[in-house]
Amino acid sequence: MITIAITGGSGFLAAHLIYRLQYRTDIKEIRTIDRKPFKQLEGLELLSTNEKSSPRLVHYRLDLLDATMLEKALYGVDLVFHLARKSLELLQVGDQRLLDDEYIKDNLLGTISLLDTIFKLSVPRLIYIGDAYANLPFGDNFGTSEAIHCSLPNKFILGKYGESRAKAELEGRQRCGKSLSNGKIFHAVFLRPVHIYGEGELKLPKALQRIAAKYGGAIPTLEGHSNGMHQYIYVGHLMQIVEECIGILLLEESAIRVSSEYFYCMDETECTKFNKFIAPFVHSLGLKMGSSQWCWSTFLSIYFAEWANWLRGKDPKLQNWSLIALRFLFVYAYGFSNRKLSLLFRFKPEKSMEECQAKTAEWIRTKFCKEATERIEECEKMTEATRAKG
């Protein structure tokens, strides 16, 4: 039996992974590592935590840059799932330089600290969850070979976020095949998922709410020269692939075969417009898709608004897409091949994209309606308390 550790253990990716792993009989202990407290995902509660056959779950609340605490969390671990990351900010921020520093600190320096500790403690295996778009340059990426994105571009379409994620992955790939402190060889596999969605993903629905507030309850349908064509993967399906990686890495022969390799992960190779993809989630929030707008006109208006407020020294907290997100989501088209994945993995999506979207939309509807009800109840209590004092 093995002991595993999951960085980013309080996130929605980890929740779906733990939900799958809790029924395995070959795992003795699951250690979650995160700066935040561990919290089960609503609608995805751990059903067997009280059963003797289920793995023991232990949470370590720490920062990956805290080497001393990290050593305690990883001592005796056989396999690490590196899910921790600072995700791409979709909305405008007041201080882009501060955000860029956070990307480098959390994504790159945090990964380097993790790898250093892995080698010090001789943890033999790693499954790294990266980002398909991290090392892309500006422009369309459609139907090109998987091999052309093995290194770093001169400029990253996702800015410092992309740079931090791409360099972190490369750091891990370059350490594969090297000797650990106990003389064993380190092997790791690197997954590059496209857009991940599913129950527990909150950044997109929260961004949609804020943008709709600016446009009277509607999300503008932004059009670009390539119409924002993208691929997607449901989080549960990504965890199917992650779980399959366990068996591959635990066998020395197959571990050598995949070590340092990266695999693009998606449900379908067919691309879908981002506007069409988000429509079910927009409707589940009680919002609507608005009229079409040329994205470059929106891009310019946001650009000049940001400059004007920067000159005034103000943080306007504008409710709109960030320039990077706007360009990324709506201007270009991105399509990847999953040839390597289909050759070396048995992965087949358990559900169709339509089923997964409907399931996610229902979770969003339940989650945000519950929060709205709680806010209303809190306001009513405050009003009653004020009246009682009066």
Q: What is the pLDDT of residues 5-34, one digit of tens each?
A: 999 999 999 999 999 998 888 999 999 999
What average pLDDT does range 147-171 have in this prediction? Answer: 91
User: How far is Cα 308 from Cα 28, in angstroms, rounded to an integer?
Assistant: 57
For the chain, domain boundaries? 2-203+231-271+334-351
Coil, strand or helix at 79: strand
Element of type H or E holding 275: helix 274-284
**Phi-psi region at 7: left, alpha or beta (left = phi > 0; alpha = psi -120 to 50):** beta
CB 155 within 8 A of CB 215: no
What length does the chain have? 390
Tell me the CATH architecture of domain 2-203+231-271+334-351.
Answer: 3-Layer(aba) Sandwich (3.40)
User: How far is Cα 114 from Cα 7, in angstroms, rounded to an integer?
Assistant: 9
What average pLDDT does range 271-275 have in this prediction? Answer: 92
- Minimal CA–CA distance to 212: which of 274, 279, 304, 306? 279
Backbone angles phi and psi of 190, in degrees to 5: -125, 115
User: How far is Cα 63 from Cα 67, in angstroms, rounded to an integer?
Assistant: 8
What is the reported pTM?
Answer: 0.89
Q: How confident is the model at residue 376 (pLDDT cuts 50, 70, 90)?
A: very low
User: Ranked by mean pLDDT, which of 85-99, 173-187, 286-300, 333-347 comes out on top?
Assistant: 173-187
> What pLDDT score was predicted for residue 290?
81
Angle at 368 between CA 362 and CA 371, to 5 degrees: 140
Instruction: Determine the angle formed by the axes of helices 235-250 and 12-21, rounding to 10 degrees.
Output: 60
List pLDDT tens digits, range 284-294.
Answer: 999 999 876 65
> What pLDDT score was predicted for residue 138?
87
DSSP string, 36-55: SPP-PPTT---TTTTSTTSP
Residue 57's Cβ-count burial label (10 Å; 0-12, 13-18, 19+) is middle
Helices (H), 285-352: 295-312, 323-330, 339-344
Chain CA centroid to CA 102, Å: 16
Above pLDDT 90, what percent of the chain? 66
> Token pair for residue 323?
């320039």
What average pLDDT does range 283-304 have in this prediction? Answer: 73
Q: Are strands 262-265 and 125-129 parallel, antiparallel or unpaired?
A: unpaired
User: How far is Cα 74 from Cα 156, in angstroms, rounded to an integer?
Assistant: 33
